Amino acid sequence: MTVGVVGLGLIGGSLAKAYKRDPSVTVLGWNRSRSTLEFAMLDGAVDGELTADRLRDCDLVLISLYPQAAMDYMTAHADDFSKTGIVMDCTGVKREICAFAFPLAEKHGFTFVGGHPMAGTQFSGFKYARATLYDRATMVIVPPVFDDPDFLQRVKSLLKPAGFGRISVTTAQEHDEMIAFTSQMCHVVSNGYIKSPTAARHKGFSAGSYKDLTRVAWLNAPMWSELILDNRENMLAEMDAFIGSMTAYRDAIAANDFDRLCALLEDGKRRKEEIDG
C-alpha cells in the first residue's frame, strides 16, 4: 500500500510515522516548508516526496492542512489523484470542506472521504509528531455514500495501519455540531479562563484542576481561528448555552443564595454522571 501525506505537522507527521510502522506501507510526504519534508525523510517518517505525478500511485492520500489550504490543494491536484484510490482530509470541520470536495471529486473522477482523527496535543509541528498518537483513538469519517458496506470496509482497511481503535461514520452536519461542543468550546473556554488577572499568581496554589482546564489554552491561534469561524453557527449556539449557565451561577453567588448555587452544582454533577457514568 502507498499512502500520501500532505502536510507534515503534528497530525500529518504522526500519520506518516504511524503508517511507517507497517513495513508493507510506502509513505510519501509533501509539506509547504521543504526543510520539514527533508527532515521527515531523514527521520524515516516518509520514504520520499509526494509529487504531482506520484499522487496516482497512492491508495490513500491524507490531507492534513488547514481547511482552505486543503481545498486549494485538492483544486490544484484534482486531475492528479488516483481514480481507484481515496482522498481524505483531516481537518477539524466537515460541512464546508465536504460541500466543496464531494462535487469536485465527482467532476474529476476521484473518491473523497471527509475525515477527522480525534487525537492531538496542545503542541504543533513535526517535532511533536509521534507514531502512537492515534493508537486506540477514534477516526471520524464522512463518506460520500452511507449504504455501501464494502466501501466502508475498504476505508477502514486503509486506515487500520494508523492504529485507530474506532471508526465513527457520521454526516458533516452532525460532526460539526458535536465538534463545537467536544473540542472547539473546550479550547475557547480554556483560552478565556487563563486570561484572569489572578492567573499570574497561581503557582503554589494550583494542582490538577488548573492543569486540566488550561492545557489547551496553549493552541495554534491561526488554525483554531479558521476552524471556529468555519463552524461559527454551532459555536455561537454552544457559547450562548455556556454563557447562560455561567450567568445562572453568577446570579446565585451574587445573591448569596446557598440553596440555588448548591442546586446548580448538583445538577452539573448529575449531568456528568448521566453522560459519562
Residues 7 and 122 in one domain: yes
> CATH number of the domain that 136 lies in?
3.40.50.720
What single letter denotes the amino acid at residue 187? H
- Confidence class of residue 66 from pLDDT cuts 50, 70 and 90? very high
- Mean per-residue pLDDT of the chain: 96
Residues 211 and 236 in one domain: yes
Write down which residue in 149, 170, 191 finishes a domain. 170
Tell me the average pLDDT across 247-266. Answer: 98
pLDDT 10s digits, 162-199: 999 999 999 999 999 999 999 999 999 999 999 999 99
Residues 187 and 166 in one domain: no
Alpha carbon of 13 to those of 9, 52, 128: distances in Å? 5, 19, 8
Question: Three-state SS across 118-187?
Answer: ECCCCCCCHHHCCCCCCCCCEEEEECCCCCCHHHHHHHHHHHHHHCCCEEEECCHHHHHHHHHHHHHHHH
Give the model's pLDDT for residue 253. 98
Give the model's pLDDT for residue 277. 84
Residues 77 and 99 in one domain: yes
Q: CB neighbours of 242 closer than 8 A, spacing ≥ 6?
A: 185, 189
Residues 203 and 257 in one domain: yes
Our count of domains for the chain comes to: 2
Tell me the average pLDDT across 236-248. Answer: 98
Write down which residue in 122, 138, 170 finishes a domain. 170
Give the model's pLDDT for residue 206. 87
Residues 132 and 54 in one domain: yes
Residues 158 and 259 in one domain: no
pLDDT at position 40 over 90 = yes
Residues 227 and 115 in one domain: no
Residues 39 and 85 in one domain: yes
Would you state the cell numbers that stand for residue 200, as one nine-digit string?
Answer: 499570574
Rounded Cα distance between 16 and 47, Å, is: 10
Which range marks the domain in which residue 222 is found?
175-276
Residues 165 and 194 in one domain: no
pLDDT at position 251 over 90 = yes
Helix ranges (H only) for the chain are 10-19, 34-43, 67-76, 95-108, 149-159, 172-179, 185-193, 208-214, 221-230, 232-254, 258-276
Give the model's pLDDT for residue 204. 87
Residues 160 and 188 in one domain: no
Give the model's pLDDT for residue 230. 96
- Confidence class of residue 200 from pLDDT cuts 50, 70 and 90? very high
Write down which residue in 126, 154, 170 finishes a domain. 170
Residues 147 and 191 in one domain: no
pLDDT at position 21 over 90 = yes
pLDDT 10s digits, 86-139: 999 999 999 999 999 999 999 999 999 999 999 987 788 999 999 999 999 999
Give the model's pLDDT for residue 257. 98
> CATH number of the domain that 188 lies in?
1.10.3660.10
41 close to 29: Cβ distance less than 8 angstroms: yes
Give the model's pLDDT for residue 124. 84
